[in-house]
Amino acid sequence: MTKLCKDCKFYKRDWISHIVMGSDGLDKCLNPIVNENLVSGKNEGKFCEIQRKSYGGCGRDGKYFEARK
């Protein structure tokens, strides 16, 4: 099974970029494991594309992927 961000429970779609630009480049990952701000404790999210390409994030394998229920 391919682990796609759009199927993950931590995925947040940026509707404006989808409607205006037809793009998913601004969609965010809200997984607290990889996005927690260690100074404020807030989960501000990071762009899905960057998380999947980075070694510190989810990576190409979708290491922190959790399917939606």
Domain coordinates of the chain in residue numbers? 5-53
pLDDT score for 68: 92
Grade residue 13 by pLDDT with cuts at 50, 70 and 90.
Answer: very high
36 or 15, higher pLDDT: 15
Q: Which amino acid is at 23?
A: S
Residue located via tokens 């999210």: 45
Instruction: Examine the pLDDT at 8 and tell me if it is beyond 80.
Output: yes
**Contact between residue 43 and residue 29 where contact means Cβ atoms under 8 Å apart:** no
In this prediction, residues 4-18 reach a mean pLDDT of 92
**Contact between residue 31 and residue 68 where contact means Cβ atoms under 8 Å apart:** no
Instruction: Examine the pLDDT at 55 and tell me if it is beyond 80.
Output: no
Instruction: Examine the pLDDT at 17 and tell me if it is beyond 80.
Output: yes
Q: Model pTM?
A: 0.78
